[in-house]
Structure 1
Amino acid sequence: MGQHLIDSLSAVTLAVIDFEYTTPAGAPAEPFEVAVVALRAEDGALRVGREFQALMQPPPHAALTVFDTGQTGITPQMIADAPPAAEVLAKLDRRFTAGPYLLIAHHAPAEAKILAAYRDACPNLARLPMLDTVRLARGLYPDLPRHSLDTLMRHLHIPSPPDRHRALADVRVTAQIFIRMVTDAQWLNLDHVRAIGGYTPPAPAPEQPTLFG
């Protein structure tokens, strides 16, 4: 892990984000769980920081399916009294006011699309620049047949958590994978990382002149 890269990463707070969502026919995906894990570059290494996790109740047209429950273990009863996504994301968004921040997601377009759909509730989150760990992994491990979380966990010998497919478990795994990729790669600085795995969200970018200056 090069010192220039660590110095570059120390200029931002990295936040790994993941949604569990249902995909109703003919309608956009609707989230029913979200989790975030913070990463900071400190003392020459990436360290895991605070975590956020919350269940959300999707709208009636996007109720949980048998597949959703089978994959995540989340039942309709578990989210019956949960607040709607707009309320949860507004609460989460209030944590993203100081900056600069950089979101990390595995297959970032999916998370970015949900954030864009709820941008009125989470304007800070919806506009943040993102890194896609799928794109980073394709560049770093080109010989792998796929670059899913499960494939990368096996390749990097990261144990699969018992609650795999819950949002918090998945962001913890994604954070471990990102840390390993930073260790394995010969990336020069944050600009180099962004050139390989950067993803621009659909919402307008925020004013963050110090982020990649």
Structure 2
Amino acid sequence: MRSVIPQCPVVSAESSSDDIAEFVVIDVETACSSVSSICQIGIVGFKDGREVFEYESLIDPLDRFSSFNTRIHGLTCDHVAGAPTFATVHATIAAHLSGRITVAHSFFDKGALAAACRVHDRTPIETTWLDSVRVAKRAWPDLPSHRLNVLTKFLGVRHKHHDALSDARAAGYVIVRAIEHTGIGLAGWLLPAHTRGRQSPKSAAVGPLKGERIAILGAARDGMLANRLAAAGARIVASVGLTTTKLVISNEQPFGRYVSAHADHKRADTLRRDGKAIEIVSEDEIIASLLRTG
């Protein structure tokens, strides 16, 4: 598990420092099933991997509070008594988002913002949207879930789930960490994803792993580990299936103690319980075995 990110000094929304933000992140909470019923909003600006401003506000949604939504975020009509309406804060939100790259964890927030603008007769906010769920799925495709609370545990980010400001900050760090992890800059994440199928290395004709069908968890199937196993005769497969004989857990796997929650690991466990001849071994174990046989 990576270390927890400390709280960075931020600049208040009243200053002009948000003008230097490279991207902004927004999160909203809603009062009921009406997507326009925004009752809390949080916005955080990021520049060079750090926070440069934050803005948050409770909002009177001029709508009912459902018990379902209250159970999620804890907010009721009492919390927003005397709070501004969306129409009142619209200009502030627009000033932070307009003409910038705006991140949201899924596009629920995008839809809520657009709906609130319609309901409250305010001008739509023009911004370039980036979905941090899509970014996370590309950066860490093998994670069992890309929900924000799962990602923050994986990344070691302090987070209070369903608090708008905390959710916005957390989604911002998903982008920061994805850039660090992949080397893809912000502009690259805005481009459409072009997936290119990886080719497994060709299996050697002979070797101690001849006849083995091996799936690798946590490393590319055209990477160094895959090539070493293929050179020993193994056939490298894309995922665990009925004919897989080994699941090898890479030393570089990014899942930490959550590795057993990965779909391939759970599939291998199920096959073992059903009596199939499949082993789950670490990279160190299989390499040590090759060294003994070599």
Query: TM-score, normalized by length of structure 2?
Result: 0.53
Percent of aligned pairs with the same amino acid: 27
1:59 to 57, 62, 65: 62
Give runs of aligned pairs for residues 94-173 of structure 1, distance below 5 A: 94-96=95-97, 100-107=99-106, 109-117=107-115, 118=117, 120-123=121-124, 126-161=125-160, 164-173=161-170
Give yes or no for contact 1:135–1:196 (8 Å, CA) kept in 2.
no
Instruction: Give the aligned partner of residue 80 of structure 1.
Output: 81
Change (3 A) 1:54 1:159: closer
Report the CA distance between 1:141 and its aligned residue.
1.1
- Unaligned runs of at least 5 residues, structure 2: 1-19, 194-294
Change (3 A) 1:53 1:145: same
Instruction: Give the aligned partner of residue 6 of structure 1.
Output: none
Distance 2:90 2:110 in 1: 13
Q: Relative CO higher for 1 or 2, CA cutoff 8 Å, sep ≥ 6?
A: 1
Report the CA distance between 1:196 and its aligned residue.
4.7
Distance 2:111 2:27 in 1: 12
Give runs of aligned pairs for residues 154-193 of structure 1, distance below 5 A: 154-161=153-160, 164-187=161-184, 189-193=185-189
Question: What's the Cα RMSD here?
Answer: 2.2
* CA distances 1:154-211 after superposition (whole Å, capped 9, x unpaired): 22222333xx211011111112222111111131x443211257xxxxxxxxxxxxxx
SS in 1 for 2:191: helix
* CA distances 1:35-68 after superposition (whole Å, capped 9, x unpaired): 1000112xxxx221111101111123xx112222
Give yes or no for contact 1:57–1:83 (8 Å, CA) kept in 2.
yes
Distance 2:57 2:147 in 1: 24
Give yes or no for contact 2:130–2:190 (8 Å, CA) kept in 1.
yes
2:28 to 19, 30, 48: 19
- Unaligned runs of at least 5 residues, structure 1: 1-10, 198-213
Amino acid paired to 1:166:
D
Instruction: Give the aligned partner of residue 40 of structure 1.
Output: 47
Greater Rg, structure 1 or structure 2? 2
Report the CA distance between 1:75 and its aligned residue.
2.1
The count of corresponding residues between Structure 1 and Structure 2 is 171
Report the CA distance between 1:135 and its aligned residue.
0.3
Query: TM-score, normalized by length of structure 1?
Result: 0.72
Report the CA distance between 1:150 and its aligned residue.
1.1
SS in 2 for 1:54: strand
Distance 2:152 2:176 in 1: 12
Distance 1:28 1:177 in 2: 25
Report the CA distance between 1:106 and its aligned residue.
0.5
Instruction: Give the aligned partner of residue 194 of structure 1.
Output: 190
Moved over 3 A (4+): 94-97
Change (3 A) 1:173 1:140: same
SS in 2 for 1:51: strand
Amino acid paired to 1:181:
A
